[in-house]
């Protein structure tokens, strides 16, 4: 099965996540996605043979518009999402301004911004397109996510690796999902065509399997 379709099937089977993807779609954000734990945890639960875990953390909505970098816009979007789904901990961030906080050059897209996140398995985003289609963006591919591998991105393999290690420890992922394994001393997965998954469009899962 196409790996992107596998991820979409997992999200489609979760009524809450599929509904929230529709809510974000209806905002018509430029280069807008839901990313990080929203996708990662659902896939890990599926690969552990579990029903989806509750959405206990932030639902990270990322978008990219260099012409609208006012942080107030993110707050207004947060409020709009809370008005529709008040029980969800929404977190909206325009990635066109996140480079300033991180000390990087400007990011060209939401997908490029994810290249500077700590873990490859979290650098995966999805968005609904139309009524029944979905796209997956993953600058490092989805192999680590689907293989239950925890791996730092290149940015966090050097002096910043302690940040990655502290995240793994504090979030207790290895305890919550015992089939996970940490990649040690092997960065070959990082060198696969990094843009391969960015903005990939998939047919509805029933037709793509």
119: CB partners within 8 A, 6+ apart? 150, 151, 152, 153, 156, 164, 167
The pLDDT of residue 101: 85
182 φ, ψ to 5°? Answer: -90, 135
pLDDT at res. 187: 46
Contact by Cβ (8 Å): 182, 168: yes
**Single pTM value for the model:** 0.86
Which residues in the chain show pLDDT less than 70? 185-209
Q: Residue 148, by phi and psi: left (phi above 0), alpha (psi -120 to 50) or beta?
A: left
The residues, any chain, with a CB within 8 Å of residue 86's CB and separated by 6 or more, are: none
Specify whether the CB–CB gap between 197 and 137 falls below 8 A: yes
Question: 166 vs 44, 60, 171, 173, CA distance in Å?
Answer: 20, 20, 8, 11
DSSP H/E element including 75: helix 71-84
Q: Where are the beta strands (DSSP E) in the chain?
A: 33-35, 59-63, 90-94, 125-129, 133-137, 149-150, 181-182, 200-202
**Confidence at residue 185, expressed as pLDDT on a 0 to 100 scale:** 59
Per-residue pLDDT at 140 = 97
Nearest to 179 by CA among 31, 24, 6, 46: 46
Place of tokens 């993110």: 74
- Tell me the C-alpha distance between 158 and 115, whole Å: 15
In the numeric block, which tokens belong to residue 6? 């596998």
pLDDT on residue 94: 97
- What's the pLDDT score for residue 160? 81
């Amino acid at each position: 099965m196409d790996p992107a379709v596998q991820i979409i099937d997992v999200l489609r089977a979760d009524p809450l996540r599929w509904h929230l993807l529709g809510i974000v779609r209806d905002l018509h954000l430029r280069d807008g996605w839901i990313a990080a734990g929203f996708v990662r945890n659902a896939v890990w639960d599926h690969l552990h043979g579990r029903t989806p875990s509750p959405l206990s953390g932030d639902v990270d909505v990322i978008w990219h518009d260099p012409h609208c970098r006012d942080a107030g816009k993110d707050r207004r979007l947060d409020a709009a999402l809370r008005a529709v789904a008040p029980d969800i901990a929404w977190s909206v961030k325009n990635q066109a301004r996140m480079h300033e906080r991180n000390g990087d050059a400007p990011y060209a897209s939401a997908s490029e911004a994810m290249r500077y996140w700590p873990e490859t398995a979290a650098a995966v985003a999805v968005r609904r397109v139309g009524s029944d289609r979905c796209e997956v963006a993953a600058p490092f591919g989805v192999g680590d996510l689907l293989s239950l591998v925890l791996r730092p991105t290149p940015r966090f393999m050097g002096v910043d690796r302690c940040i990655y290690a502290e995240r793994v420890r504090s979030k207790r992922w290895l305890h919550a999902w015992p089939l996970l394994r940490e990649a040690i001393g092997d960065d070959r997965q990082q060198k696969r065509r990094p843009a391969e998954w960015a903005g990939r469009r998939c047919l509805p899962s029933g037709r793509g399997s």
